[in-house]
Amino acid sequence: MKVAVVGATGLVGTQILKVLEERNFPVTELIPVASPKSIGTEIKYKGKGFKVVSVEDAISMKPAIAIFSAGGSASLELAPKFAEVGTVVIDNSSAWRMDPTKKLIVPEVNADAITKEDKIIANPNCSTIQMVVVMNPLHKKYKIKRVVVSTYQSVTGTGKKAVDQLMDERKGIMDGPKAYAYQIDLNVIPHIDVFLENGYTKEEMKMIKETNKIMRDDSIKVTATTVRIPVVGGHSESVNIEFENEFDVEEVKALLAAEEGVILVDDVANLKYPMPLHSHNRDEVFVGRIRRDESQPKTLNLWVVADNLRKGAATNAVQIAEYLVSKKLV
């Protein structure tokens, strides 16, 4: 089982290697790939050193799986080249997500959509992943009509430069390199990705369109506001869900508590609710603050938290790879 990790030295690439090791994925040969300046440098995996190789060398080695975290333009150019030699590419960028010929997969929700013919599989947006993991059992039981989501997203979603900006500002260094147009420490920025003609950001439209594709139901109406907050590690979401059918709050809690990959943290009497501190370096999606929306019928409020670099990116990609192996699709 040759496995290439493309973008192995980046924030998400480093997490992918960590998750592969932690979950004991059956790697027989690891092929780390990064930008030309990193070729020849060594990365550690399971206590051994592996030299970073060029894309061309990696393709010639014909890995069974290539997990990409190298950005959209690199994926558009390179994923088809890996696919041509029979490699199954699992891509973390937005490059292939809305391509009607490519599957967009969250294993707990729609892994069964993958076939042996799928050579490029898209990993969804981090904020979409954690939301649909929680939505899926509720949609099956009560049928979702409409979702209103507001996100509170970690700076790690932007990358190392954003983390450095936040940490610099915390030290009083205000003239360091900037990932954002504004100060992020002691601030909240209601702007993730670029603004589009409709006034939404690209991140907001990703959540809307990706949710429909993953849930395989275009009838679900979604509206989103995505916000960057000064937190390192962990996205949070306030989610308001209107159902076709009536629900019982205690039954909702029981459904979510029983769901694979979900941890219910909902005991407000003892101040127990999900926070990014809980989710850091964890693979599960945490949910709590579950309560009825008293302003209209058949509507629920809940709070969803997950580590955006793990379940929101690396872990979800590795889970897709695990599914491919378990179903003998590679």
Give the pairing of strands 299-306 and 285-292: antiparallel
What would the pLDDT profile of 109-137 be if each residue is shown by its tens digit? 999 999 999 999 999 999 999 999 999 99
Q: Please check whether residue 59 is in contact with residue 71, taking contact to mean a CB–CB distance below 8 angstroms.
A: no
Identity of the residue numbered 150: S
Using alpha carbons, list the distances in angstroms from residue 273 to 155, 240, 261, 264, 266.
22, 17, 17, 8, 5
Q: Where in the chain is the domain with CATH 3.40.50.720?
A: 2-123+313-326
Q: Where in the chain is the domain with CATH 3.30.360.10?
A: 127-308
User: Is the pLDDT reported for residue 323 higher than 90?
Assistant: yes
Q: Which top CATH class is 2-123+313-326?
A: alpha beta
- Residue 216 backbone phi and psi in degrees, to 5: 55, 40
Tell me the mean pLDDT in the region 258-271.
97
Q: Please check whether residue 147 is in contact with residue 223, taking contact to mean a CB–CB distance below 8 angstroms.
A: yes
What would the pLDDT profile of 302-319 be if each residue is shown by its tens digit? 999 999 999 999 999 999
DSSP string for residues in 226-261: --B-S-SS-EEEEEEEEESS---HHHHHHHHHTSTT
Gap between the Cα atoms of 136 and 120, Å rounded: 24
What would the pLDDT profile of 150-164 be if each residue is shown by its tens digit? 999 999 999 999 999
What would the pLDDT profile of 63-92 be if each residue is shown by its tens digit? 999 999 998 999 999 999 999 999 999 999
Instruction: State yes or no: is 280 an active-site residue.
Output: no
Q: Please check whether residue 107 is in contact with residue 211, taking contact to mean a CB–CB distance below 8 angstroms.
A: no
Written as six digits, the tokens of 184 are: 């992020």
Gap between the Cα atoms of 255 and 259, Å rounded: 6
User: Is the pLDDT reported for residue 55 higher than 90?
Assistant: yes
pLDDT confidence bin for 271, thresholds 50/70/90:
very high
Q: Which CATH fold would you assign to the domain 127-308?
A: Dihydrodipicolinate Reductase; domain 2 (3.30.360)
What would the pLDDT profile of 197-253 be if each residue is shown by its tens digit? 999 999 999 999 999 999 999 999 999 999 999 999 899 999 999 999 999 999 999
Alpha-carbon dihedral angle through residues 111, 113, 116, 122, given to the nearest 10 degrees: -70
Which of 126, 139, 278, 280 is catalytic? The answer is 126
Instruction: State yes or no: is 235 an active-site residue.
Output: yes
Alpha-carbon dihedral angle through residues 242, 100, 92, 128, given to the nearest 10 degrees: 0
Residue 233 is predicted with a pLDDT of 86
**Global pTM value:** 0.96
End-to-end CA distance of the chain: 9
Which of 139, 235, 278, 280 is catalytic? The answer is 235
